[in-house]
A and B are shown apart, each in its own frame.
Chain A
């Protein structure tokens, strides 16, 4: 589904990603871990099409397409979804109106007719139930005055509505208490299917207790320096990141 090959990217002339290689197949959940500043969020941003980052080398193919050639909105329409670490507040646009526009823009991209109001509302209500999203939040301006937990839940709710093929969760656990974390994880798990894949970016192992990954990768200094299964995450939880740093430095 996703094939990242020697990907390099920089921002304001500073190289952050220094040759990333990653293969994600349908149905898989990959966790990307690593110390702060290792390039985790940059990887998520580059995949979603954030324009401040300049791709300086390598390639990314998504279901056979050159992902890097697509604009952010085209990537979304092709089925890439980024759950933001810091969801944006947009005054004056209700969550429901925002999502209706998104759903119908994606349908337009695919050459499908827009959903009518009744079909859309029915679908949205089902998805809201799935992530235990309060109906009253849907009518409020997008993320405006939402608590941290509500914002993150709104991300997962949007993900449920848009049904992406590849979800990238950028530190969705940051700032969440354990109850909110559980609800968010339940939402993600309920969307797991053999056709869909996820990349879960996190600093801590705790989220992975709830969203159990198939693979765990450690990103350090812009490269994936270690890959393993969920046991690797446990090891990191116990030992921290220092031993990884030492290993990398020993290899020189």
Chain B
């Protein structure tokens, strides 16, 4: 309790008002008013503690105990980027360094009548009404991190796919934390608006360079109009000093299809929220997840499938392999509102725990108000099947090779869901390497 260190909350709130003082006329805009409301919410809530039901198994004490420099420009050389890059000639690739969009490093190959991509700030300047229509649709009243992100929303990206457009080339957002000099923080806010009958695949990939801490607080809003089709992949391969809190909020209308895969390869503290509001009939929402914590890493996935209308389906499969003293958390909520008759909802979370000191907390949470629905859920946490190991060894496969083959097979049904080839191949490589070091 040193008087010299100002706590993170106080500092962030002070930063907000300092910034507000210099934006002049902008302060009265709708955009800013939403931010202002959000900072009040954040002030009121403060960072969550473990007394908060949503944060029962995940403590942010470590995260908030440090200070971070936000919005540092970083100084990435072409070589730095090349070392992190997964080349993909067939993708739109957008670079963000410490949360800031870097158009000069980015590669945009789809034509602008198919997809409009710009920083959130730029999009707001060009078309405030358009951005305002979506920005802040997320209810941040109960979540301090989302409120904080909303208060500081500036960078990040605005993607608009006009009605009836099929974007063939995927969009890959690469977020790089440059933590070589000091602790850095970033709060990207991404808004993806997909028009009626339009289709797009996109990915968010998070990396860190450097040994200092990084704190990422990202919020992505995905607004899907009728008959739209979105595939969304989140890949986290950050450092052992990386703290990541992310929320992806999806809004679905009639007959839209959404696919998500969240893969956490590395990171010291990771909390992913994925919430899908299925506000339409005949929708399909698929959620896949995979995580490999080791050391003292902590990976927490909270998901929500909120069925608001009849005749839709949600399907969820999360899998994890835990080692050392790592901790995993899975909380999967399924809401079926009174109107949402004939809902089909499936949820499954399967884990392999390779060490006695690793722990996994799984909590399915179903709240069903409709009476004609099909809901199933199940979680398993166990070790590698010894009988399967012996079977493989009896055919000449060594124990470590058998272990990695079994674990790879365990992951395969999630990895195979990823339809952007360059990302899937990258994951296959990293995962295979991870699993051979038994």
A92 to B398 Cα, complex, angstroms: 18
A160 at the interface (CB under 8 A from B): no
If A90-B409, A92-B409, A93-B405 touch, whether A73 touches B396 (CB-CB below 8 Å) is yes
Q: Which residues of B are found within 8 Å of A49, using beta-carbon distances?
A: 393-394
Contact mask for chain B residues 374-407; partner A; CB cutoff 8 A; 1 contact, 0 none: 0000000000010110111111111101100110
Q: Which residue of B lies closest to A91 (CB)?
A: B409
Q: Is A241 an interface residue (CB 8 A)?
A: no
A158 to B394 Cα, complex, angstroms: 11
Which of chain A's residues have a CB closer than 8 A to the CB of B390?
Answer: 50-51, 72
Cross-interface CB contact of A98 among B385, B393, B395, B413, cutoff 8 Å: B395
B410 touches A (CB below 8 Å): yes
Residue of B nearest to A99 (CB): B395
The answer to whether B27 has its CB under 8 Å from any CB of chain A is: no
Known interface pairs A50-B390, A101-B401; A76-B395 also in contact (CB < 8 Å): yes
User: B401 near A105 (CB under 8 angstroms)?
Assistant: yes
Q: Does B137 contact A (CB under 8 A)?
A: no
- Say which size band chain A's interface belongs to: 20 to 34
Give the complex CA separation of A81 and B395 in angstroms. 7
Cα distance A75–B394 when bound, in Å?
8
Q: Is B412 an interface residue (CB 8 A)?
A: yes
Q: For the complex, is A216 an interface residue (Cβ under 8 Å from B)?
A: no
The minimal Cβ–Cβ distance linking A248 to chain B, given in whole angstroms, is: 32
B388 and A73: CB pair below 8 A? no
Contact A90–B388 (Cβ < 8 Å): yes
Is A84 an interface position by the 8 A CB rule?
Answer: yes
Question: Contacts of A92 on B, CB cut-off 8 Å?
Answer: 408-410, 412-413
Closest to A79 in B: B396
Q: How far is the CB of B393 from chain A (nearest CB, A)?
A: 4
Most B CB atoms within 10 A — which of A76, A109, A141? Answer: A76
The A54-84 residues at the B interface (CB cut-off 8 A) are 71-73, 75-77, 81-82, 84
**Which of A75, A84, A92, A109 has the most CB atoms of chain B within a 10 A radius of its CB?**
A92
B395 touches A102 (CB 8 A): yes
Give the Cβ gap from A65 to chain B, nearest Cβ, in Å.
16
Do A158 and B393 contact each other (CB < 8 Å), given the known contacts A91-B409, A105-B401?
A: no
A162, B395: Cβ atoms under 8 Å?
yes
Residues of A29-56 contacting chain B, CB below 8 A: 48-51
Total A-B residue pairs with C-beta atoms closer than 8 Å? 70
Specify which of B397, B405, B409, B410 is in contact with A73 (CB 8 Å cutoff): B397
CB neighbours of A88 from chain B (8 A): 385, 387-388, 391
Q: How far is the CB of A160 from chain B (nearest CB, A)?
A: 13
Q: Bound complex: CA of A84 vs CA of B388, how far in Å?
A: 12
In the bound complex, how far is the Cα of B396 from the Cα of A162, in angstroms? Answer: 9
Which of A50, A90, A106, A141 contacts B396, CB < 8 Å?
A106
Q: Does A114 contact B (CB under 8 A)?
A: no
Residue contact A71 to B391, C-beta cutoff 8 Å: no
Give every chain A residue within 8 A of B405 (Cβ-Cβ). Answer: 93, 98, 101
CA distance A40 to B385 in the complex (A): 24
Instruction: Report A-chain residues with C-beta under 8 Å of the C-beta of B397.
Output: 73, 98, 101-102, 105
0/1 per residue, A84-104, Cβ < 8 Å to B?
100110111100001101110
Q: B402 — which chain A residues lie within 8 A by C-beta?
A: 73
Q: Would A73 and B391 be within 8 Å (CB), given that A90-B406, A92-B413, A93-B406 are in contact?
A: no
Please encode chain B, from 226 to 262, with 1 for each CB lying within 8 Å of some chain A CB and 0 for all others.
0000000000000000000000000000000000000
Q: Is the CB of A109 within 8 A of B391?
A: no
Q: Which residues of B have CB within 8 Å of A71?
A: 393, 399
A227 to B405, CA, bound (A): 43
Contact between A77 and B396 (Cβ–Cβ < 8 Å)? yes
Q: B residues within 8 A CB of A73? A: 393-394, 396-399, 402
CB distance from B414 to the nearest CB of A (A): 11
B407 to chain A, nearest CB (A): 10
Q: Once the chains bind, are B398 and A93 in contact (CB under 8 Å)?
A: no
**A75 CA to B398 CA in the complex, in Å?**
11
Does B396 contact A76, Cβ atoms closer than 8 Å?
A: yes
Give chain A nearest CB distance to B40 CB in angstroms: 50
A84: chain B residues at CB < 8 Å are 391, 394
- When chains A and B are docked, how far (Å) is the Cα of A105 from the Cα of B397? 6
Minimum distance in angstroms from A11 CB to a CB of chain B? 14
CB nearest to A143 among chain B residues:
B391
State in angstroms the CA–CA spacing of A71 and B398 once bound together.
9
Give chain B nearest CB distance to A126 CB in angstroms.
19
Residue in chain A with minimal CB distance to B408? A92
Q: How far is the CA of A76 from the CA of B397 in the complex (A)?
A: 8
When C-beta atoms are compared, the residue in chain B nearest to A75 turns out to be B394
Contacts of A158 in B (CB 8 A): 395
Please measure, in the bound complex, the distance between the C-alpha atom of A109 and the C-alpha atom of B396, giving whole angstroms.
Answer: 9
Give CA–CA (A90, B397) in the complex, Å.
14
Residue of A nearest to B409 (CB): A92
23 A-B residue pairs with Cβ-Cβ distance under 8 Å, sorted by A, are A49-B393, A50-B390, A51-B390, A71-B399, A72-B390, A73-B394, A73-B398, A76-B393, A76-B396, A81-B394, A82-B394, A90-B409, A92-B408, A92-B409, A93-B406, A98-B405, A99-B395, A102-B392, A103-B396, A105-B401, A106-B396, A141-B409, A158-B395
The 9 tightest CB contacts between A and B, nearest first, are A92-B409, A76-B396, A72-B393, A102-B395, A88-B391, A106-B396, A73-B393, A93-B409, A92-B412
